[in-house]
């Protein structure tokens, strides 16, 4: 989003006009940014046989899924519903990898029926899988590298106490299960966390995973997860994917030469692909000043954007209605009956009631985590594609809130 002729615009579309047409609160996504991020990643690993599987939990609208499919992406899913969305979006089953955690074996069997790739992250399910399918259906194995990484403990998933993955210290047990049950392992996988800045963390995990991979002779691919950091604040730093690509490509080629054939290197980017493409617009309902604080109360809350409350995450906030205004200090809060503070003591161009504010980095884990707390409606979603706005999710109504409720006579 840039200021052009005094107005904020997204790929040539006026931001205030979008808010007038579709109302607020409103999520807006720019496919131009999604495509640029996807091409940046694929270019970084062009020296290898590679595949990017978009992690659709970040933003699961079917139009976004189709967009990435058309770019050549695969799909990373974590629930049977995401698998079904991916198939409906047109992904071939072999282009979908299913990496659940803590689900029933019945859900695993449903995924097998759909023909997608199965990624198993615990020994109990692996044993059930092997007993049921034997070597008739190949699997991928998710390992836990015991690496503490990520921008927040809640998104660090590769440490020793994590519920995700089979411990690297259980590989002997893993190998015995695979051999005794005749399980065909076609891939190995790991994911250490999100918002990882240090390239060396990826390389450390890669070294561990490749050491385990040597013990499985029928591999087709090795999946290194994702966790690439994007910029959240002005002048913020992000993962140097070009440096990572250069170093990982060298390591992976050397491994493939030792392994005896070329394998595919895979990643599961979600936030990296869509975070910066997203903008969340809301209207200022009230300016309230206390003895110490100036509050800007907006027409949304943690029901629509929970990340600041859940993860203490930072979202840069701009006053779209006053691009050239003088900076003042505000605490931006929502309208939910909780302490739903988006930002405290933040410098923002002077805000008045009815102004439109914009939250940056609203493409990943924002709308997908929205809910109806306080019986508030979920907002609309708009996709900007080639300079044109498209409504991709309608704003909810009271009928939507009541659709699945069953009224009874008491």
Is 338 within any annotated ligand binding site?
yes
Based on the domain organization, do 208 and 346 belong to the same domain? Answer: no
Dump pLDDT digits (tens) for 192-228.
Answer: 665 666 777 788 888 889 999 999 999 999 999 988 8
pLDDT at position 151 is 46
- Domain co-membership, 206 together with 355: no
Q: Are residues 314 and 230 in the same domain?
A: no
Identify whether 217 is part of a domain: yes
Instruction: Please tell me the distance from the alpha carbon of residue 373 to that of residue 301, in angstroms, as a whole number.
Output: 9
Same-domain status, 37 and 141: yes
pTM: 0.93
Decide which of 259, 274, 289 is a domain's last residue.
274
In a domain? residue 148? yes
pLDDT digits (tens, 9 = 90+) for 383-394: 999 999 999 999
Torsion angles phi and psi, residue 384, rounded to 5: -95, 120
Mean pLDDT of 316-343: 96
- Distance CA(51)–CA(224), nearest Å, equals 11
Task: Establish whether 314 is an annotated binding residue.
Answer: no
Distance CA 398, CA 403 (A): 9
| pLDDT for residue 149 | 46
Mean of pLDDT over the chain:
92
| Whether residue 91 sits in one domain with residue 65 | yes
**181/299 same-domain check:** no
Same domain, 391 and 314: yes
Q: Indicate if 318 and 387 belong to the same structural domain.
A: yes
- Both tokens of residue 61? 């609208």
Domain count, the chain: 2
Would residue 15 count as lying in a domain?
A: yes
Give the model confidence (pLDDT) of 265-298 as tens digits: 999 999 999 999 999 999 999 999 999 999 999 9
149 contacts: CB under 8 Å, gap ≥ 6: 156, 158, 159, 192, 193, 196, 198, 201, 205, 227
Which residues constitute the domain of residue 239? 31-274
Q: Does any domain span residue 281?
A: yes
227 annotated binding-site participant:
yes
Tens of pLDDT, residues 125-134: 999 999 999 9
Clarify whether residues 165 and 121 are in a common domain.
yes
Q: How far is CA 248 from CA 28, 141, 187, 191, 225, in A?
A: 34, 20, 17, 15, 13
Mean pLDDT on 370-395: 97
Q: Please indicate, yes or no, if residue 407 is contained in any of the structural domains.
A: no
Instruction: Give yes or no: residues 50 and 70 share one domain.
Output: yes
Read off the CATH number of the domain in which 128 is found. 3.20.20.10
Q: What is the CATH number of the domain that holds 337?
A: 2.40.37.10
pLDDT in tens, 48-102: 999 999 999 999 999 999 999 999 999 999 999 999 999 999 999 999 999 999 8
Residues designated catalytic = 337
- Does the pLDDT value for residue 158 go beyond 50? no
pLDDT computed for residue 156 by the predictor: 43
Residue 138 — pLDDT band, cuts 50, 70, 90? very high
Domain endpoint, select from 248, 274, 300: 274
- Do 262 and 310 sit in the same domain of this protein? no
In a domain, 398, yes or no: yes
């Amino acid at each position: 989003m840039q200021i052009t002729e005094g107005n904020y615009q997204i790929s040539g579309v006026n931001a205030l006009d979008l808010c007038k047409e579709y109302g607020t609160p409103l999520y807006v996504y720019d496919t131009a940014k999604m495509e640029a991020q996807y091409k940046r990643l694929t270019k970084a690993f062009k020296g290898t046989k590679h595949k990017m599987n978009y992690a659709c939990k970040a933003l699961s609208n079917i139009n976004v899924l189709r967009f990435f499919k058309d770019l050549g992406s695969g799909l990373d899913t974590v629930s049977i519903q995401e698998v079904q969305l991916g198939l409906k979006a047109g992904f071939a089953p072999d282009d979908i990898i299913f990496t659940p955690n803590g689900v029933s074996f019945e859900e695993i069997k449903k995924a097998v029926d759909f023909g997608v790739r199965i990624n198993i992250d615990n020994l109990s399910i692996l044993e059930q899988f092997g007993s049921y399918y034997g070597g008739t259906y190949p699997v991928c194995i998710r390992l836990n590298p015991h690496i503490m990484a990520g921008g927040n403990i809640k998104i660090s998933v590769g440490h020793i106490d994590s519920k995700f993955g089979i411990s690297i210290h259980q590989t002997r047990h893993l190998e015995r299960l695979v051999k005794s049950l005749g399980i065909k392992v076609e891939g190995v996988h790991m994911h250490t966390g999100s918002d990882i800045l240090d390239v060396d963390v990826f390389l450390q995990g890669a070294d561990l995973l490749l050491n385990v991979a040597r013990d499985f002779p029928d591999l087709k691919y090795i999946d290194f997860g994702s966790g690439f950091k994007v910029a959240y604040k002005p002048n913020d730093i992000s993962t140097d994917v070009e440096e990572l690509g250069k170093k990982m490509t060298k390591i992976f080629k050397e491994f493939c030469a030792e392994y005896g054939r070329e394998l595919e290197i895979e990643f599961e980017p979600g936030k990296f692909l869509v975070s910066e493409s997203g903008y969340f617009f809301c209207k200022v309902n009230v300016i309230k000043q206390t003895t110490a604080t100036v509050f800007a109360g907006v027409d949304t809350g943690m029901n629509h954007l929970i990340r600041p409350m859940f993860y203490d995450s930072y979202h840069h906030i701009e006053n779209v209605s006053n691009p050239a205004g003088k900076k003042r200090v505000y605490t931006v809060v929502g309208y939910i009956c909780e302490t739903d503070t988006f930002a405290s003591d933040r410098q923002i161009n002077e805000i008045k009631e009815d102004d439109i504010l914009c939250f940056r980095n609203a493409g990943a884990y924002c709308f997908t985590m929205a809910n109806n707390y306080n019986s508030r409606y979920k907002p609309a979603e708009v996709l900007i594609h080639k300079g044109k706005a498209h409504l991709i999710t309608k704003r909810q109504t009271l009928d939507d809130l009541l659709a699945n409720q069953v009224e009874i006579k008491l």
